[in-house]
Amino acid sequence: MPKLKSNLTVIDGFTGKPVKRIVDKRCRAKLDTAQDVRREMAKLYRETRSGLLDSSEASKLTWILASIKSVIESADMEQRLNRLEQDNVD
């Protein structure tokens, strides 16, 4: 499968001028746990503060990550509840 590339315009943190960047759209961040999601959110924060990522794009990605974190927490809670119910049956 070919790599997906796109042009991204970001604001240079030092000059304040728009800069075109070619970005590989396929991200392979590990997002299996809430801790993984927290790390990815921190990465977005650092990239935004450094001027590598537009704040509106960072906001969108952070919202998606928060949704992923919520699903992870719900799935963990469901597993715990199932284990407790199983223990009560036995």
* pLDDT for position 79: 94
Q: Which domain holds residue 42?
A: 5-89
Number of domains in the chain: 1
Per-residue pLDDT tens digits for 16-62: 888 777 666 666 788 999 999 999 999 999 999 998 899 999 999 99
Listing DSSP states for 29-90 in one string gives ---SSHHHHHHHHHHHHHHHHTTSS-HHHHHHHHHHHHHHHHHHHHHHHHHHHHHHHHHHH-
